[in-house]
Amino acid sequence: MFVLFYSVITAVSVLYVGLRVIRPLKLPRLAATVCWVALIFIGFLGVTLSPRRAGGAASEETMFPVVIGVMQSCLFLLTFLLFARDVLAPPWLLMHRFSGSVQDHIRRRRRILFNISSVVLVFATLFFGATGYDDAHRIPDVRAVDIRLPGLPRAFDGYRIAVLSDLHVGGRAGNQWLNDIVTRVNAIGPDAVVILGDVVDGKPEDLYADAALLTGLRAPDGIFLILGNHEYISGYDEWVAAFSKMGLPPLLNAHRLVARKGAQLAFVGITDPAGTWFNAGPPPAPARAMQGVPDTAVRILLSHRPGNARGNAALGYALQLSGHTHGGQMLPGQLFALFANRYLAGLYEVDGMSLYVTRGTGFFGRAPIRVFAPSEISLLTLRPAGPDKARPARP
């Protein structure tokens, strides 16, 4: 189903860009044919190839699909920019071909302006593609936020949680990036680290060694990991066994307690709804997952998707941590991500519960760029509830 949807979107984008850029330029027949063939070629390869690798170090073989992924991402971005231009531009700019009553020189001027706008958008797309590739592959900045929770015991005032999500190991060449992520998280010295799913894109036999780099994370209260939809796509049972073998057993509708001076925090992890699609694992059960948690413990829910926040708030959770959206990752992804998940990125208050949605640490391999959605390593500092619900903080 995903491949079909992806193919349709790609075909529409190829047709739209061709009709709105190549055709109006009135290039010589050979040049126009070359442009059309190149456009179709990019679209076809983007559907059939995925910029993933089978473990190991970077190689020239792995870079070709990555380049194709960047080019197809630029195709989608250009389609959006052209569509926005066509919707927002003054009508006279778009109707130059049908303005028979205006003088020829005015019609030519309008056609030139239209073509100039198309060329400008093409170059803008190339700029965003280049900078977006760099943004996606760099080591994310630490985004520090104070979160104020009602009833937080004084023993946990200042408690720091590092949040990683949507690493998508296998969507990039080489593993130095993940090594650097681990080094940066360890450098900020969190009390606990949570990993909110979509850790991998591939099978354990290909990516076990890379994913095992996460065992280098250090936090006195431990590493708490849950699964995202991509673990189900890549093999639910295999990855549950692989993470457990690494010493990072996923929280599958289960919880772990952290105690300080008689007070307790409960990290509660749930499964992903993707399990019902793949007939793998139990469905998410946020109520059952916290059975056995003391009434006095502050409950923190780890849920890959943020969309169920309202129901989780009704269960008595103080804080929900989620990923999945990538903050949209690239235009116009922000619109789709917000529509599909209700929450895009950042800190929300949902019926008295705090919800933090990270933009993610990596990127989805088919679109190896980020545009207006920078990746992040989140550092959340818990504070007792006060006048300000949340404010920026320094690591």
Residues 32 and 130 grouped into a single domain: yes
pLDDT at 96 over 60: no
Residues 208 and 267 grouped into a single domain: yes
Residues 119 and 173 grouped into a single domain: no
What CA–CA distance (Å, rounded) separates 297 from 265? 5
Residues 292 and 230 grouped into a single domain: yes
pLDDT at 332 over 60: yes
Last residue of a domain, one of 119, 136, 153: 136
225, 248 contact by CB (below 8 A) = yes
pLDDT at 393 over 80: no
Residues 47 and 21 grouped into a single domain: yes
pLDDT confidence bin for 79, thresholds 50/70/90: very high
What CA–CA distance (Å, rounded) separates 134 from 265? 38
The reported pLDDT for the residue numbered 104 is: 67
Distances (CA, A) of 87 to 96, 154, 359: 15, 54, 29
The reported pLDDT for the residue numbered 142 is: 97
The reported pLDDT for the residue numbered 100 is: 53
Using alpha carbons only, give the angle 366, 334, 253 rounded to the nearest 5 degrees: 75
Which of 93-97, 106-110, 219-223, 329-333 ranks highest by mean pLDDT? Answer: 219-223
* 297 CB burial (10 A radius; 0-12, 13-18, 19+): buried
Which residues constitute the domain of residue 112? 2-136
What CATH number did the domain enclosing 248 receive? 3.60.21.10
Q: Please tell me the total count of domains within the chain.
A: 2
Percentage of residues in the chain with pLDDT exceeding 70?
Answer: 88
The reported pLDDT for the residue numbered 167 is: 95
> In this structure, what token pair is assigned to residue 325?
């959206």
What CA–CA distance (Å, rounded) separates 357 from 301? 12
How many Cα atoms within 13 Å fall on the side-chain side of residue 212?
A: 14
The reported pLDDT for the residue numbered 170 is: 82
How many Cα atoms within 13 Å fall on the side-chain side of residue 175?
A: 19
What CA–CA distance (Å, rounded) separates 113 from 8? 31
Residues 55 and 111 grouped into a single domain: yes
In terms of DSSP H, where are the helices of 138-273? 176-188, 204-211, 229-246
Residues 241 and 144 grouped into a single domain: yes
Listing DSSP states for 56-108 in one string gives: SS--HHHHHHHHHHHHHHHHHHHHHHHHHHHHHS-HHHH-TTT-TTS-HHHHH
Residues 283 and 356 grouped into a single domain: yes
The reported pLDDT for the residue numbered 12 is: 94
Determine how many CB atoms are found less than 10 A away from the CB of residue 115: 15
Determine how many CB atoms are found less than 10 A away from the CB of residue 261: 9
Which run of H or E residues covers position 125?
Answer: helix 104-137
Instruction: Give yes or no for a cis peptide into 395 (omega within 30° of 0).
Output: no
pLDDT, mean of residues 75-85:
94
Check residue 50 and give left, alpha or beta (phi > 0: left; psi -120 to 50: alpha): beta
Using alpha carbons only, give the angle 330, 331, 335 rounded to the nearest 5 degrees: 105
More confident residue, 72 or 394: 72
Last residue of a domain, one of 136, 169, 199: 136
Residues 36 and 112 grouped into a single domain: yes
Residues 222 and 118 grouped into a single domain: no
> In this structure, what token pair is assigned to residue 340?
């599909």
Residues 176 and 302 grouped into a single domain: yes
What CA–CA distance (Å, rounded) separates 243 from 278? 19
Residues 230 and 146 grouped into a single domain: yes
pLDDT tens-place string over residues 349-372: 999 999 999 999 999 867 789 999
Tell me if residue 305 falls in helix, strand or coil. Answer: coil
pLDDT at 202 over 70: yes
Last residue of a domain, one of 136, 168, 183: 136
What CA–CA distance (Å, rounded) separates 219 from 225? 13
- In the block, tokens 């792995």 appear at 62
